[in-house]
Structure 1
């Protein structure tokens, strides 16, 4: 059973339906991850998503990554991939971790890419969720694999490939 705690600052326009978007993006990411069984497991699996200001993300980025600037998305995994691979169907709740999105950065990037804000935010939630599940982009092969998962997850949501034509 997937439980997603979503907290959005008032600056994130409530008419967009962030709860539904975040839930759908996280579920799509999990379905395309190395651990698709987490989406339908009877075991409680939780992640949290915070939609907040650039300043809040800047502070977190400075504290945890030593980078004193806002970034589009931060992920804070709480479970190791080997733990996720060995999960039994019963047991205590598993906390995947936290994802934090910066509103201003997301808006600027969406405008630069000439795409809807909700599509870009969904991509960042997919990206962040995959990080919680052990995906990374530290080298070319890992980046290619992660991007392919992102594209497939976004395709489930009817969102175009954010990396351009792969054909």
Structure 2
């Protein structure tokens, strides 16, 4: 596996100034894809860096929950799987345009507040949330205990490879 994931960060909220979200996102997305044996440089992910007001609207529109959240993700393809299983991972092929994995939105205020409350660097928390979101884009979920254990185990391993402490 060589190269880094193609991450297109769109900054919509001024609070993100001074945060190297592009670097954090590229590193986290690449780490997640590489840990699963995928060629990171054959994937594209769009990240919207927004504020709590914007993510509350998105959360209401797409999940029926009209309040801010830390991160949302929209996979390019819906994937269903039995509880606790690894989804069939996409094959981007060796040629042609990169595989569009999906979109992520991340809210500054909620992420910054959570990092402070948890006593961890903002960059580490953002890295965790982006790894989490990439796993969602790939079809992983945490709806039930088996799925949550599987996904959290992957996140912990990926974050350890990034030098980030276990968030759980």
2:48 corresponds to 1:39: no
> Which residue of structure 2 lines up, in the alignment, with residue 56 of structure 1?
54
In 1, Cα distance between equivalents of 2:15 and 2:112: 12
Are 2:31 and 2:158, in contact at CA under 8 Å, matched by a contact in 1?
A: yes
Count of residues in correspondence between the two structures: 157
Structure 2 residues not aligned, in runs of 5+? 80-86
2:166 corresponds to 1:158: no
> Which residue of structure 2 lines up, in the alignment, with residue 30 of structure 1?
33
Deviation at 1:91, TM superposition (A): 3.9
Deviation at 1:141, TM superposition (A): 1.1
2:139 corresponds to 1:134: yes
Q: 3-state SS of the aligned residue for 1:11?
A: helix
Provide runs of 4+ in structure 1 moved above 4 Å.
80-84
Q: Call closer, same or farther: CA 1:144–1:79 in 2, change over 3 Å.
A: same
Deviation at 1:10, TM superposition (A): 2.0
| Equivalent of residue 10 in structure 1, options 5, 14, 20 | 14
In 2, Cα distance between equivalents of 1:80 and 1:68: 23
Structure 1 residues not aligned, in runs of 5+? none
Deviation at 1:78, TM superposition (A): 0.4
Deviations 1:102-144 (A, max 9, x none): 1111111111111111111111001001100111111111111
Are 2:92 and 2:98, in contact at CA under 8 Å, matched by a contact in 1?
A: no
Provide the TM-score with structure 1 as the length reference: 0.86
Q: 3-state SS of the aligned residue for 2:8?
A: strand
In 1, Cα distance between equivalents of 2:157 and 2:94: 26
Q: 3-state SS of the aligned residue for 2:73?
A: strand
**RMSD, matched Cα:** 1.9
Provide the TM-score with structure 2 as the length reference: 0.85
Q: How does 1:43-122 map to 2 (within 5 A)?
A: 44-80=42-78, 84-122=89-127
Are 2:43 and 2:92, in contact at CA under 8 Å, matched by a contact in 1?
A: no
Deviation at 1:92, TM superposition (A): 4.2
Deviation at 1:83, TM superposition (A): 7.5
| Equivalent of residue 21 in structure 1, options 24, 31, 36 | 24
Mean alpha-carbon deviation: is it higher for 3-12 or for 20-29? Answer: 3-12
